[in-house]
Structure 1
Amino acid sequence: MSNKTIEKKITATFQYLHENAEISWEEVQTTKYIEGILRESGCVVRTFDDCTGVIGDYGNFNGDLPIVAVRADIDALWQEVDGVFQANHSCGHDAHMSMVLGLLWRLEQEKDLADKVAVRFIFQPAEEKGAGALKMVEKNVVDDVDYLFGIHLRPMQETKMGHAAPVIVHGATKTYKGIIKGEDAHGARPHLNHNAIEIGTQLVNMIRQIHIDPLVPHSVKMTALQSGGESANIIPGKATFSLDLRAQTNEAMEMLDSKVNHAIDTLKNLYETDIELKSTGEIAAAKLNSDAIEIMETAIEDSLGKEGVDGPLQTPGGDDFHYYTIKKPSLKATMLGLGCDLKPGLHHPKMIFDKKALLNGTDILYKAVKNVYSL
C-alpha cells in the first residue's frame, strides 16, 4: 500500500465518519465500520455485548514487547446545525478515528514491523459523556498496556497548522443537573410560594462569589435555567438548571465542588425548599508522564521539524482520556495536541479545519509508536 493510497483512505474514512456521526453510547454503525477495517488489516478484534466501541490488537503480543495503546474517541455531539438538531462531529472525533486508522495502515505498510511491535487500537465510545474511558477500563483494555497515546485537534487560538504539542494539560470538569421543587402560586399572591426563578437567580449570584486560589484556573457557571410556562400570572415554584464546573487541578475541583454544594444547601435552608442536585458527568485533570511526553516530542520533531514543536498545551477543556492513568498509575500516557487551523472553535456547529493535518497527525503517531521500540 503506497503513501498516496493511505492518504486517500484516510480522507475517505474521515468523510464517511463525518457524514455518519453517532452520539454517545449509540455508535453502533461506527463500531461495525471500524471493526471491519481492523479485521481486514489482520488485527485481533474485540467488541462488547453491553456497549459500543471496538479494540484491535496488531503485531506481536506473544513476546516481551511493551504494549503501546492508541486511543481514538468515536462519539459525536448532539447539537443544532442550520436549525436542525443532529449528531455532529464538531469536536474532531471523526478526524481522530481517521488518523488512528491511518497509523494502522502505516504499520501494515511495513510488513517487517508486525513482529517488532505490539499496538492496541482503542476506539472508545462516549467521551462526550465522560464515561467511555471508565467503561474501557472496566473491560480491562489497558491492564497489560505500557504506553498510551491519544490525539486531539486543537483550535487555531492554541496552536497553528504545522505545529503540535506533545501533551495537552486538560483540566478537571464536572456537570450537574438540578431541580428546584416547589408549587406554583397566583401572581397576585407572592407570599404563598417561593419563586423558583428568584431562587435560580440567587444561585447564579452565589456561585459567582465563589473564590479559590486565583493562581489555579477555575470557573463555575449556570448553563441552563428553565421555569414557568405560557401564563404570565403564575409564579413558578419549580425550575430545572444545569451547572458547569472547571478547574485545572483535581484538588481545586474538589474545593470548587464543595463550595457549590454548600451554596445549594444554604439556599435550601434559606427558602425552605427542596433542591435536588445530581451529577451528570465528571472528568479528571491530566496526569503527566515525562517518558511519554518525550517520546511524543521527538515524534513531532521528526515529523514537523524542531520549529513545529510547541510546549505543553494547557486548556480548561476536559477529556476522559485521563481516567486511564488515574485507574492505572503506572501507565505512561500523553495526548498529542495537533495544530490544524481549526476555527471558529471546538464544539461550534460549523467547526472546520485543514484536512492536510490528518496526514501530520498520522505521521506523528506512527513515529511515536516506532520511537517506543527504537525502530
Structure 2
Amino acid sequence: MANQTIQNRLQTIFEYLHNNPETSWNEVNTTSYIANILKEEGLQPKTFDNMTGLYVDIGKGTPKVGFRTDIDALWQEVDGEFRANHSCGHDGHMTMALGTIFMLKEMESSLPGAVRILFQPAEEKAQGAMAFVKEGIIDSLQFLFGTHVRPLVELQDGNYAPALYHGAAKLFIGKIIGVDAHGARPEQGVNAIEVAASLVDGMKRIWISPTQSASIKMTQITAGGSSTNIIPGNATFSIDARAQNNETMEALTTGFEKVVAAVSTLYGVSIDYKVESHIAAAQVDGEAKAMMKQAIIDVAGEENCAQDVVTPGGEDFHFYTYSKPELQTTMLGLGCGVTPGLHHPKMTFNRERLTTGAEIVTRALMLALQHVERSGKND
C-alpha cells in the first residue's frame, strides 16, 4: 500500500491540477508543473519545442512498458461563465500517473527494466495521441496501459475494471457550394439546404449489420443570412459518426463517401469535406488485460475486480494501437463514483480512489516488466 506521505502529496497535486485547468494544446503551465515535480524526483522529463505535453523514463535500458495519461481540460460553461474545466477526470489521471512515478521511484533500483510515462496533451480534440505517435514516443514499447474514471452508471465506487471498450468516433466537417437565387426563381439556383436535406436522407440509407452498434447524423448546419427571400447556395455542416468497432466505422465512412458522391451528382454541386477528428475504437490485448486484472486482484481484492466495461464514449488512447497494431494495450476503469456524469460542469468523484488506482497501475507495470524480462531470457 502507498505510504501516507505519497497519499498526502497526491491530494495536494490533485488540488493544484483541478484548480488550474488548461484546454487542449494550451497546457503550458500544466506541462511545466509536472516537469518540475519530475525534476525534483531526480528524473529527466522530455518536453517538446512544438507542443505541450511531456514524457519521462524510469529505470535502466530502453523502455518496453509504458503508461499514458491525458492532461487537457474541457472548455464549457460553469455557473454562467465559459472557462476551462476538468470535468472528464484528467486531473485525477495526471495525479495517478504521478503517484505511479513516486511508487516506481521507491523501487527504481530493483526494476527489471525501464518504464515510460506519457503525459499527453489534446485528448479532448483527439489529436494528442497522433502527435505523440509522430514523435516516435511509443516506438520502443510493447505494452502500454491507460486509465479513466468511470461514472456510477458503468462502475460502482470501489470497483475496478481491467478493460474499457470504447467505441470509434469520426467528425466530418464540410461545405456545400451551390448557387444563390431569388426566392421567386428557385430554378435559377441550387438550394444548399435542400442539398443538406438529401445528405441527411442518404445517410439514413447506409446499411450496417443489425448486430453492430452505429450511428451517423448531421449535427450542425449553417446556411442563409437575415433575408428570408434569398435561396442560399452555400452551407457548412458537421457530421458525427459513431461505431462500437473500427470495422463498422470504416463501413460508415465508405457509406458517407458514396452518399456525398451521389448527392453531388444529383444536384450538380461541389461538396467538400474533411475528417476533423478520428477516435479509434478499443483494441484490447488479452495479455495486457490479464495483467491488469491480476493487478486489481493483488491491490484491491478479487471481490472488487469488475467485468470489462463496454461504453459508447470515445478515447484518444486507442489511436496508439490503431497506429501500431502490435502494441499490447488496455485501460483501467476506475470506479470512483463519478456523478452526475462525465463532462457535466459540476462533475465530482471520490478522490480517495486515486491512490488505489496508482497502486494498481504500478502493479500492472511491474507484471509487464517481469513478462518482458522473462520473454527476453527465453529468446
Scaled by the length of structure 2, the TM-score of the pair is: 0.91
**Unaligned regions of 5+ residues in structure 2, if any?**
372-379
Q: Distance in 2 between matches of 1:374 and 1:262?
A: 49
Q: 2:80 corresponds to which residue?
A: 83
Q: 1:1-375 counterparts in 2 under 5 A?
A: 3-61=3-61, 67-108=64-105, 110-111=106-107, 113=109, 115-373=111-369
Q: Distance in 2 between matches of 1:271 and 1:373?
A: 59
Q: Is the 8 A contact 2:66 2:365 kept in 1?
A: no
SS at structure 1 position matched to 2:38 = helix
Q: Is the 8 A contact 1:107 1:114 kept in 2?
A: no
SS at structure 2 position matched to 1:179 = strand
Q: Is the 8 A contact 1:296 1:368 kept in 2?
A: yes
Amino acid at match of 2:91: D
Q: Distance in 2 between matches of 1:85 and 1:339?
A: 29
TM-fit CA distance, 1:187: 3.0
Q: Is the 8 A contact 1:42 1:58 kept in 2?
A: no
TM-fit CA distance, 1:229: 2.5
Q: Structure 1 195/338 Cα, relative in aligned 2: closer, same or farther at 3 Å?
A: same
TM-fit CA distance, 1:335: 0.9
Farther-moved stretch of structure 1 (304-313 vs 272-281): 304-313
Q: Structure 1 352/204 Cα, relative in aligned 2: closer, same or farther at 3 Å?
A: farther
Q: Is the 8 A contact 2:58 2:108 kept in 1?
A: no
Q: Distance in 1 between matches of 2:315 and 2:108?
A: 35
Q: Deviations over 1:106-165 (max 9, x none)?
A: 223x35655545221100112222221122122221222232110011121111111111
TM-fit CA distance, 1:348: 2.6
Q: Distance in 2 between matches of 1:229 and 1:344?
A: 39
Q: Deviations over 1:79-120 (max 9, x none)?
A: 333333322222221111111111112223x35655545221
SS at structure 1 position matched to 2:45 = strand
Q: Is the 8 A contact 1:59 1:118 kept in 2?
A: yes
Amino acid at match of 2:125: K
Amino acid at match of 1:358: L
Q: Distance in 1 between matches of 2:45 and 2:198?
A: 53
Q: Distance in 2 between matches of 1:236 and 1:87?
A: 36
Q: Deviations over 1:29-85 (max 9, x none)?
A: 1111111111111222211111211011112237xxx63211001122223333333
Q: Distance in 2 between matches of 1:42 and 1:212?
A: 53
SS at structure 1 position matched to 2:271 = strand
Q: Distance in 2 between matches of 1:173 and 1:294?
A: 27
Scaled by the length of structure 1, the TM-score of the pair is: 0.92
Total equivalences in the alignment? 371
Q: Deviations over 1:179-220 (max 9, x none)?
A: 112343333333332332232233223223322111111111
Q: Distance in 1 between matches of 2:306 and 2:275?
A: 35
TM-fit CA distance, 1:279: 0.9
SS at structure 2 position matched to 1:317 = coil
Q: Deviations over 1:334-369 (max 9, x none)?
A: 111111211232223332222222223112112212
Q: Structure 1 351/229 Cα, relative in aligned 2: closer, same or farther at 3 Å?
A: farther
Q: Is the 8 A contact 2:281 2:318 kept in 1?
A: yes
Q: Distance in 2 between matches of 1:12 and 1:48?
A: 26
TM-fit CA distance, 1:280: 0.5
